[in-house]
Amino acid sequence: MSPLDNQLDDYLRIRRALGYKLARTEKLLVQFIAFLQERGERVITIENTLAWVTLPGGSDSWRAFRLSAVRGFAAYLHALDDTHELPPADLCPNRPARATPYPYSAQEIAALMAATVILRGRLRQSTYRTLIGLLAVTGMRVGEAIRLDRDDVDLAHGVLTVRDTKFGKSRELPVHPSTVKALRDYARERDRLCPEPTTPAVLVSKAGTRLLYCAVHSTFKQLRDHAGLKPRSVTCRPRIHDLRHRFAVQTLLDWYRSGVDVQPLMPLLSTYLGHTRPSDSYWYLTAAPELLELAADRLSRNEGRSS
């Protein structure tokens, strides 16, 4: 192994001890080090970073992600040896802004679930129909849903246990009786169609294995296209992750409309979503115009009472 390989191992070990997973980051940095070795270079420079980040075939967002991965590693190395340069954050021009969440309606979610009829095999249809519904009503991350094992689902008490989350913590999610029924129905059909799976996962592929993250995204694109969902703008495209956004927004809308004091409840929403800070959940307020309007109206009425 080269010195850079050893330093990468140390860097990843330190970051993961802080709760980061870095699976994609590790793959990218291994590729970056291989790129440097092919060029006979042993240190990170702005020049070789730009050369790697802008290799043909990537989108603006992908180049931005590659740059972010290198900058984190470069910052670590620069602190140990200043011969390594720290590439600037604006090294890539036209770095894209944060994607605008797609505001799914209930009808669009139903259309996505109905679109599963295009998939080959009853089990695959049932699995993706259940996955989409589960994401919509729990706000789970895709990775959390596909990592659910049978022991994590307590249908008797209506509780899901989410383990190995984005920040290395676990949490329990109470779910509605209708969700319990949907999961029980899926489990019955799954066990009938795949009586001997090779995984303890709740959601299984037609081969009886755990769903793969990349395969889920690929299948979702098929369902999205079949359901006729179109981008609202260049930055607002229907993504599977936006089902999580819809859950958060819908929860906040329900709270505002019912007249409850929302602020004390934000830590509960943050815990349910698996955010490390309530401030992470406040972003949903700014991302939904309807929520901003309700919040502004609530603030105006409160100020009227106090004056």
Burial (CB < 10 A; 0-12, 13-18, 19+), residue 206, is: middle
Q: What is the pLDDT of residue 21?
A: 80
Task: Kindly list the catalytic residues.
Answer: 141, 166, 241, 244, 275, 284
C-alpha distances out from residue 198 to 148, 152, 202, Å: 14, 17, 11
Kindly report the backbone phi and psi dihedral angles of residue 210, in degrees, each rounded to the nearest multiple of 5, phi listed first.
Answer: -65, 145
Mean pLDDT of the chain: 88
Convert the pLDDT of each residue in 205-235 to its tens digit: 999 999 999 999 999 999 999 999 999 887 7
Place of tokens 């092919």: 38
Say how far apart CA 165 and CA 145 lie, in whole Å: 10
- DSSP secondary structure string for all residues of 202-262: SSB-TTSSBPPHHHHHHHHHHHHHHHT---SSSS----TTHHHHHHHHHHHHHHHHHT--S
**Minimum mean pLDDT range among 14-23, 74-83, 246-255:** 14-23
List the strands of the sheet with 153-154, edge to edge: 153-154, 159-162, 171-174
Token pair in block for residue 105:
């309606």
Whether residue 285 contacts residue 252, with contact meaning beta carbons closer than 8 Å, is answered with yes
Q: What is the pLDDT of residue 107?
A: 97
